[in-house]
Amino acid sequence: MTVQSHPPEPLAAARALAPTIRDRADEIEAGRRLPADLARQMAEAGLFRLLVPASLGGAEADPATLLKAIEAVAEADGAAGWCMMIGATSGLTAAYLPETAAREIYGADPAAITGGVFAPMGKAVAVDGGYEVSGRWQWASGSQNCAWLMGGSVILDDGKPRLLENGMPDSRMMLFPADQVEIVDTWQAAGLCGTGSHDMAVANRFVPAERSVSLVTDRPRSDGPLYKFPIFGLLAMGIAAVTLGIARRSIDELIDLAQAKTPTLSRSKLAKRSRVQSDLAEAEAMLRSARAFLFEATAAAWDSAAGAGEISVAARTDLRLAASHAVRAAAGAVDLMYNAGGGSAVFRTSPLQRCFRDVHVATQHMMVSPPTFELTGRLLLGLDTDTAML
């Protein structure tokens, strides 16, 4: 197959699919995965190729467009938004791979989805032409719909981890055809149930050297401004976009509920309660202010990447701080809406309870968890800090 020459406009595609995704939210939740046909629709709409270089038929979208598209899908269903975020950010790998491997993985089938796990839970031994890899990785979101899966692996020399200059183990992302990877059914989670974030495992699999990349020490082979962005920063931003979408859904659901529900032992609608009015206003302000900070930091970094051709440590700090803050603020807004919903919010039939569960699973991701505030705080204080994964 040939690559797409003109991918669909990403935000319009996301918004067009949102009603279908919302209608199938219960199916996604019950099946513990994104249905294959729905994943295919999203893939054909280009939603998993937003960060793939244009030379490979990807959208090579600016980060603000990426965030808005993820947000639109996550508002329809948090798990679908998460799967889109993982697939889209995994597409960044295309910019780091040698051209032959990049075309094999991303250029052959425009509907191919990639995913996997960055965390270096695998072990790789250098052999002629590549690596022999074994490992088991947690959190392989959306893996059942992927054509290729990747897993971070520590490089071993004589049985010991190879070390980088900063003393950290040298690890590389190893890319496998999906049929070489075992998916281990482990995903029984509190929220984001429909992401299918099972374990993935391989044993003694050969990976050609050209199908491996280091997201820490390698540099992208594509030179557009998108690829000046820090890859871990983009991942954090994508997670933030998922939570912003979930929070927007919770606010809209609370408004609908408050206008329709008359609480037990009350003569007036829930909307008449001053506490509900106050909580709604607070949630709206929390969400919109956090969103504004995220898009402000994104725009500033994009201008720097497009103009100066690089993004400073200060700008990268703002990206991570804004992303982590957006996740925290989104969770706070959802909590307010869940509590305002009262007893109605506890039932599985209520979107408010799903928003509550989904957002609190997203907050646990290492790219936006509390230690990121320590990282950015150190930088704001001017302390010596390793910024390799900023």
Same-domain pairing of 267 and 328: yes
Q: Which two structure tokens, joined as six digits, stand for 281?
A: 């206003």
Residue 49: which CATH number? 1.10.540.10
Same-domain pairing of 96 and 35: yes
Range of the domain at 173: 116-213
How far is residue 81 from each of residues 251, 262, 349, 353, 358, measured CA to CA in Å? 17, 32, 20, 17, 11
pLDDT digits (tens, 9 = 90+) for 208-247: 999 999 998 999 999 999 999 999 999 999 999 999 999 9
Q: In this structure, how many other beta carbons lie within 10 angstroms of the beta carbon of residue 202? A: 20
pLDDT: which is higher, 334 or 6: 334
Q: In this structure, how many other beta carbons lie within 10 angstroms of the beta carbon of residue 334? A: 29
Q: What is the DSSP pairing of strand 171-177 with strand 148-157? A: antiparallel
Max intra-chain CA distance, the chain:
77
Q: Which two structure tokens, joined as six digits, stand for 8?
A: 């669909």
Nearest to 359 by CA among 378, 332, 388, 390: 332
Same-domain pairing of 126 and 96: no
How far is residue 43 from each of residues 12, 130, 334, measured CA to CA in Å? 14, 30, 29
Question: In sequence order, what E strands does 16-95 have?
Answer: none
pTM of the predicted structure, to 2 decimals:
0.96
Residue with tokens 């829930």: 270
pLDDT digits (tens, 9 = 90+) for 58-70: 999 999 999 999 9
Q: Choose the final residue of a domain: 107, 132, 155.
A: 107
Residue 327: which CATH number? 1.20.140.10
Calculate the CA 337 to chain-centre distance.
24
Nearest to 350 by CA among 30, 34, 26, 23: 26
Same-domain pairing of 237 and 324: yes
Q: Report the pLDDT value the prediction gives residue 78, as an integer from 0 to 100.
A: 98
